[in-house]
Chain A
Amino acid sequence: DGGITQSPKYLFRKEGQNVTLSCEQNLNHDAMYWYRQDPGQGLRLIYYSQIVNDFQKGDIAEGYSVSREKKESFPLTVTSAQKNPTAFYLCASSIYGTSGAFFGPGTRLTVL
């Protein structure tokens, strides 16, 4: 089955720790995205990548980092510089030439 997988489903972080969220897609999509969702604020773009080895900052990139070494993978690292990381993180992907992005199931990150 083609799709987007995110792991883990739930993640707990202590203050000062970096954590990495995994996102893999087997849809052969060109672009991949990371969004953050907070209650009442919709989804906000953190980073996006349209091609391997290239990525761009979104609207709220501070405190986050990404890499795109393979077309199918786009991991997100939440660093200790992100002061309010508790949120629902969603990965998405899309094909070049179309604009409908497909989302993964999400990772819920909680800071202890």
Chain B
Amino acid sequence: QQQVKQSPQSLIVQKGGIPIINCAYENTAFDYFPWYQQFPGKGPALLIAIRPDVSEKKEGRFTISFNKSAKQFSLHIMDSQPGDSATYFCAATTSAAMTTDSWGKLQFGAGTQVVVTP
């Protein structure tokens, strides 16, 4: 059973649009939530991450929104460009501050394929 549920499976937006990807989790021990971007045939690249004491984090055109009470978080890609076309994965893990034996083990969502058309 997946500990992190991600939706939608795929989405298509026009250049300049704002793709939004949503993730939900159940394990309240998770305290670190990264997003990864993956291009075909490549390894995932860490894009942006958030901890549950923050409700929003921005890095460039990427924004994470976090709702601790709902156990949900989402990625927004502002002013999307064709070069943003990739598969995006949300993930969750427990940091070393919370556990001594299983820190850093990432649980991934199933991924969202984003296509940004010109």
Q: Is the CB of B111 within 8 A of A106?
A: no
Interface residues of A in 79-97 (CB under 8 A from B): 90, 92, 94, 96-97
Of the four ranges (under 10, 10 to 19, 20 to 34, 35 or more), the interface on chain A belongs to 20 to 34
Q: Is the CB of A90 within 8 A of B109?
A: no
CA distance A58 to B107 in the complex (A): 10
Taking CB atoms, residues of chain A closer than 8 Å to B93 are 99
Name which residue of chain A comes closest to B3, CB basis: A59
Q: In the complex, how many angstroms separate the beta carbon of B89 from the nearest chain A beta carbon? A: 6
Secondary structure type dominating chain B contacts: loop
Taking CB atoms, residues of chain A closer than 8 Å to B43 are 4, 6, 90, 103-106
* A42-B89 in contact given A100-B34, A104-B43, A106-B42 (Cβ < 8 Å): yes
Q: Is the CB of B44 within 8 A of A103?
A: yes
Taking CB atoms, residues of chain B closer than 8 Å to A31 are 103-104
Q: Is the CB of A97 within 8 A of B89?
A: no
Taking CB atoms, residues of chain A closer than 8 Å to B45 are 103
Interface size on B, residues (CB 8 A): 30
Q: In the complex, how many angstroms separate the beta carbon of A51 from the nearest chain B beta carbon? A: 11
Mask of B81-113 contacts with A, CB within 8 angstroms, 1/0:
000000001000111110001111111111100
Taking CB atoms, residues of chain B closer than 8 Å to A48 are 104-105
Interface residues of A in 55-93 (CB under 8 A from B): 56, 58, 90, 92
Chain B residues with CB under 8 Å of chain A are: 2, 6, 9, 32, 34, 36, 41-46, 49, 89, 93-97, 101-111
- Can you report 24 residue pairs joining A to B where beta carbons are below 8 Å apart? A4-B43, A31-B103, A33-B104, A33-B106, A35-B106, A40-B111, A42-B6, A42-B89, A42-B110, A43-B89, A43-B108, A45-B107, A56-B102, A92-B106, A96-B103, A98-B95, A99-B32, A99-B93, A99-B106, A100-B32, A100-B34, A100-B46, A103-B44, A105-B43
**Interface contacts beyond A99-B106, A105-B42: sample of 14 additional A-B pairs, CB < 8 Å, sorted by A:** A33-B106, A42-B2, A43-B108, A48-B104, A90-B44, A92-B106, A96-B103, A99-B93, A99-B95, A99-B104, A100-B46, A101-B104, A101-B106, A106-B43
